[in-house]
Amino acid sequence: MIITCPNCETRFKIDAAALAPRGKMVRCSQCGHRWFAEPPAEEPEPPPLPETPPVEGAAEDEAATARTSRPTAGTIVGWSLLVLVVLLLAAAMLARNEIVAAWPQATTLYRQLGLPVTLSLGLELRELASERFEENGVPMLRITAEIVNTARRERVLPPLRVALLDARGRELDFGLFDPPRRRLAPGAFARFEARLVDPPPAAERFTVTFLDRVAFGS
């Protein structure tokens, strides 16, 4: 135990048994002061806790709780369906480019959901060419190309957008044109021709774009 000199407040560590049973006179080794030191008071033992009688029906309640905590067949089926729906939605988002390639009408749905679609059409524009001429005294511009299906399946041809650009690449005019046919078999090609009336004299370049998708130019 620790005792403190009441005169100089020096602290000493002594064995509590040395003061048993009623205390003793002690002297401070620092200032020589003497005082009566008492042994530490014994703390009473805490009373024993009362025994709790068993509650009638507790075992039945525990059994009922265990039964209700077990998943039922309906719960398992419900969670399985939820997981399946989540997986299908994730697949529809991750594979949206492939889905749109097979079903172009899905593009509108993905755009409404704010999901961008980067589509590889499997279509190429080859042999792009342009020609200026007059028809009944009106300046005309003819742009031709071959649309080739490089995919392994039939493709639906989207509309095409032809834009006229100046030497600095600024767009001066454009026109929208239907494809020469609706569908194109694998490996097949179709000739595309677009005519623009009275093209701007400053137009030096052009681009041909599968509408909202891949652009080709010259």
In a domain, 132, yes or no: yes
What's the pLDDT tens digit per position in 32-74? Answer: 888 788 877 665 666 676 665 555 555 555 655 655 566 677 7
In a domain, 46, yes or no: no
Residues 94 and 157 in one domain: no
Residues 143 and 211 in one domain: yes
Residues 185 and 205 in one domain: yes
For residues 62-100, b (16+ Cβ closer than 10 Å) or e, as one string? eeeeeeeeeeeeeeeeeeeeeeeeeeeeeeeeeebeebb
Residues 92 and 149 in one domain: no
Give pLDDT, residue 79.
78
When computed from its CA atoms, the radius of gyration of the chain, rounded to whole angstroms, is 47
**Number of domains, the chain:** 3
Counting beta carbons within 10 angstroms of the beta carbon of residue 55, is it exposed (0 to 12), middle (13 to 18) or buried (19 or more)? Answer: exposed
- For the chain, the maximum distance between any two Cα atoms, rounded to a whole number of angstroms, is 136
Which 3 state secondary structure label does DSSP give 86? helix
Residues 142 and 209 in one domain: yes
- Identify the domain boundary among 119, 144, 169: 119
pLDDT above 90 covers what percent of the chain? 36
Residues 106 and 138 in one domain: no
Give how far the C-alpha of residue 11 lies from the chain's centroid of Cα atoms, to the nearest Å: 66
Residues 132 and 163 in one domain: yes
Confidence band (pLDDT; 50, 70, 90) for 202? very high
Residues 91 and 150 in one domain: no
Residues 145 and 93 in one domain: no
Question: Which CATH number belongs to the domain containing residue 174 in this structure?
Answer: 2.60.40.10
In a domain, 166, yes or no: yes
97: containing domain? 85-119
Alpha-carbon gap, residue 134 to 46, rounded angstroms: 115
Alpha-carbon gap, residue 144 to 142, rounded angstroms: 7
